[in-house]
Amino acid sequence: MARVSHFCLAPLPPTASSAPCLHLHGRIYFPPSSIRASSSSSSSSSFSSLKPKVVVTRERGKNGKLINALAKHGINCLELPLIQHTRGPDSDKLPSVLSTDTSFDWIVITSPEAGSVFLEAWKAAGSPNVNIGVVGAGTASIFNEVMQSSGQVLDISFTPSKATGKVLASELPKSENKTCTVLYPASAKASNEIEEGLSNRGFEVVRLNTYTTVPVDHVDQMVLKQALSCPVVAVASPSAVRAWVNLISESEQWNNSVACIGETTASAARRLGLKNVYFPVHPSLEGWVGSILEALEGTSTHDES
């Protein structure tokens, strides 16, 4: 199983200090005493195998791989899409930029959706020869799938040592003999962390906001009620975390676990006040499944205590 890290505020055993501890990447931090310990309490280890234990929240039609992977572990899912992707203000510019100016030293892709939008524009531009850098394995998988199905070749030339925008910006290879240019097709809601990090290193960055994310138009209240009782909610982006927090704002007692696809999403969950937050050290489908299993195990531990 992939190595999993988690943020989890939970009571310590009676023999230890009464202060709660925060576990992060195998290291232990002690948060301020004003932070109270919390744990999952609404789930039950007596759930039948047919009752959903994990809420999957990607757009409808994009949850299949995760559902199938969890089914191999005997885990049933409840599908509750939280966000939907729409065209960004620069979506029409990308094909023309790729077809008229292929001199970018790098094209940086930092999410599966950004990869899908880019690949569509790349094909419309005549499949030019480009140099691709991706943030991690999850984003790389989108390229691998599309390339295999189409028979085309598009090599990924760079992946950072850690799947975060900050590390990508600090490690992207740069020629010292000339100005290096980067095309950054991104979500309109993405932070400026990557372009600022690259610019500080001397790169010239062209950012295009090719898509954005918005909450779904309607959430079935019966499905939401069922989702609130599931031990774990699986989220794949900060936007999905925000949408979930908005939905549960009226449910004061919800404190179950959140399994995030990676550290960036996990950090957003923590900032928004969620307590039992799990994520894989190396984002991938396997890593995400591992974090979900860890979250379920943690939930069972809380219930038995």
In contact, 206 and 182? CB cutoff 8 Å: yes
Q: Mark which of 160, 183, 214 sits at the end of a domain.
A: 214
pLDDT per residue as tens digits for the range 140-165: 888 887 766 666 778 899 999 988 89
Same domain, 128 and 226: no
Same domain, 92 and 202: yes
For 181, phi and psi rounded to 5 degrees? -110, 145
Chain centroid to CA 132: 20
Last-in-domain residue among 214, 245, 275? 214
Examine residue 49 and state whether it is found in any structural domain, yes or no. no
| Cα–Cα dist 180/202, whole Å | 8
79, HSE (Cβ side, Cα atoms, 13 Å): 11
Evaluate whether residue 18 is within a structural domain: no
CB 301 within 8 A of CB 13: no
Residue 12 included in any domain: no
Domain-embedded: residue 108: yes
Q: What is the pLDDT of residue 92?
A: 94
For residue 163, what pLDDT is reported? 87
Considering the domain architecture, whether residues 189 and 251 belong to the same structural domain is answered as: no
In a domain, 231, yes or no: yes
Q: Are 133 and 171 members of one domain?
A: yes
For the domain that residue 279 is a member of, what is the CATH number? 3.40.50.10090
Instruction: Select from 181, 214, 247 the last residue of a domain.
Output: 214
CA–CA separation, 160 and 178 (whole Å) = 22
pLDDT of residue 257: 97
The two three-digit tokens of residue 253, written as one number: 């007692």
Same structural domain for residues 101 and 182?
Answer: yes
Q: Digits of tens for pLDDT over the chain (305 positions)?
A: 444 555 444 333 333 333 332 333 322 222 332 222 223 333 333 334 579 999 999 998 899 999 999 999 999 999 999 999 999 999 999 999 998 866 899 999 999 899 999 999 999 998 888 999 999 888 888 888 776 666 677 889 999 998 889 999 999 999 887 889 999 999 999 999 999 999 999 999 999 999 999 999 999 999 999 999 999 999 999 999 999 999 987 666 788 999 999 998 999 999 999 999 999 988 889 999 999 999 999 876 555 44
* Judgement on whether residues 122 and 166 belong to the same structural domain of the protein: yes
Which candidate, 208, 121, 133, places its Cα nearest to that of 165? 133
Residue 26 lies in a domain: no
Residue 22 in any domain: the answer is: no
Same domain for 161 and 224? no
The number of domains in the chain is 2
199 Cβ contact partners less than 8 Å away, ≥ 6 residues apart: 205
The domain in which residue 189 lies consists of 86-214
Residue 138 is predicted with a pLDDT of 81
178 lies in the same domain as 99:
yes
